Homo-oligomer: A and B are copies of this chain.
Amino acid sequence: MFSQACKYAIRAVLYLAVHASKGKKLGVKEIAAALDVPKYFLAKILQQLSRNNLISSAKGPSGGFYLSEKNVEASLKDVVECMDGPDVFNACILGLPVCSSENPCPLHIQAFAYREGLHYQLKHQAIGDLAKRIEREEQKI
Contacts and interface: CB of A to CB of B under 8 A. Distances in A.
A126 interface: no
A111 interface: yes
Interface stretch (A22-30, A38-46, A50-58, A115-123): A115-123
Interface in A1-38: 1-2, 4, 7-8, 10-11, 14
B139 A94 contact: no
Report, as a range, how many residues of chain A touch the other chain.
20 to 34
Given A1-B93, A7-B94, A93-B1, A130 B106 contact: yes
A110 interface: yes
28 contacts: A1-B1, A1-B93, A2-B94, A4-B95, A7-B94, A7-B95, A8-B95, A10-B107, A11-B94, A76-B107, A96-B140, A103-B140, A104-B140, A105-B139, A105-B140, A106-B130, A106-B133, A106-B134, A106-B139, A106-B141, A107-B122, A110-B117, A110-B121, A111-B118, A113-B114, A113-B117, A114-B114, A114-B115
